[in-house]
Amino acid sequence: MSILVVGSTALDSIKTPQAANPRLLGGSASHAGVAASYFAPVKLVGIVGEDFPKRYLNLYRRHGIDLEGLQIVPGKTFHWAGEYEVNMNNRRTLRTELGVFENFSPRLSKAHQETPYVLLANIAPALQHHVLDQMRRPTFVIADTMDLWLNIALADLLRLLRRIDAFVLNDSEARLLTKEDNLLAAIRQIHRLGPKYVIVKKGEHGSVLSSPAGLFLAPAFPLRKVVDPTGAGDSFVGGLLGYLASQNGSIDAHLRRAIIHGSAVASFCCEGFGLTRLARITHREIEDRVKHLEALVRF
């Protein structure tokens, strides 16, 4: 079963205390799409400028990603620049240049409209709505977001929450959205806003799923060295939805394993700049990490 992914397709300039790398392939849809492609066919919906390097298009193609929905237009590709502190949990955005994203209004083909699994990766909620408006009765819709939209597009985001099955956000965003310090109280409030499934990411401390079946706590894969965590959240949700689409059965029966697969895939993302590591993993490596995660929590 295939997945439609809409989100940012970007060039990222990333500085860590160790290195600086300009114009890497980035964007929420790039990370999520490549992560999902290890499990299921992916259709990418996005926009890039004519400055977008051919080698990045080839990277998408190597992952079998359908690029019918990727517009290439005159102008500059979305550019994001960020800098990490020595503690990699702290990141500062240095620049966000929307470029061609400013006038992006995708029109989905009939085949795209009928895609069963939909990932609304981090992008303006109005654009997430615009894509969802065109979908024909999708099986499962999951959305991601970021603090920026909670601050500048809250009404659109609240309207979106009523239209999706699952919502993924990090713990600080859950608190910002609900004004609740207690995570369980925050999760309860988010369910009331619409989504049946709420998944809260807690960085290196893993994630929490809340569903009608109850709570599930998933660890993050323990890494000795984090090179660049950019896109870890996007890879997590991409891996998660990719796995669900590959199982094509009851969501409740597969969601926990899907989250563990998301954790495994996200860990590879952190081991290289941009997509350099994530784009070169094998199924065997993913399965080894899934087994390792399983062993870590069994008692």
Q: CB of 29: closest distance to ligand AMP in angstroms?
A: 8
Question: Whose Cβ is closer to ligand AMP: residue 12's or residue 66's?
Answer: 12
CB of 140 to ligand AMP, least distance (A): 21
For the chain, the straight-line distance linking the first and the last C-alpha, in angstroms and rounded, comes to: 34
Instruction: Say if residue 73 is exposed, middle or buried (CB neighbours under 10 Å; 0-12, 13-18, 19+).
Output: middle
Residue 219 to residue 248: CA distance in whole angstroms: 24
CB of 16 to ligand AMP, least distance (A): 13
Nearest approach in angstroms of CB 237 to ligand AMP is 9
Residues of this chain that interact with ligand AMP (CB under 6 A) are: 8, 10, 12, 26-28, 80, 96, 122-123, 148, 230-234
Q: Shortest Cβ contact with ligand AMP: which residue?
A: 26
Token couple for 205: 């401390």
- Nearer residue to ligand AMP within complex by CB, 70 or 251: 70
Q: Where are the alpha helices (DSSP H) in the chain?
A: 28-37, 54-62, 110-113, 125-134, 147-152, 154-161, 171-178, 183-192, 232-247, 251-269, 283-297
Comparing CB distances to ligand AMP, the nearer of 6 and 251 is 6
**In the complex, minimum distance from the CB of residue 298 to ligand AMP, in angstroms, rounded to a whole number:** 29
Indicate the residue among 123 and 251 with the shorter CB distance to ligand AMP: 123
CB 61 → ligand AMP: shortest distance, Å?
Answer: 19
In the block, residue with structure tokens 């060295």: 225
Whichever of 115 and 170 has its CB closer to ligand AMP, that residue is 170
Given the complex with ligand AMP, which of 80 and 273 has the nearer CB atom? 80
CB contact burial 203-234 (16+ within 10 A = b; e otherwise) = bbebbbbbbeeeeeebbbbeeeebbbbbbbbb
User: CA angle at residue 137 from 135 to 143, to 5 degrees?
Assistant: 65
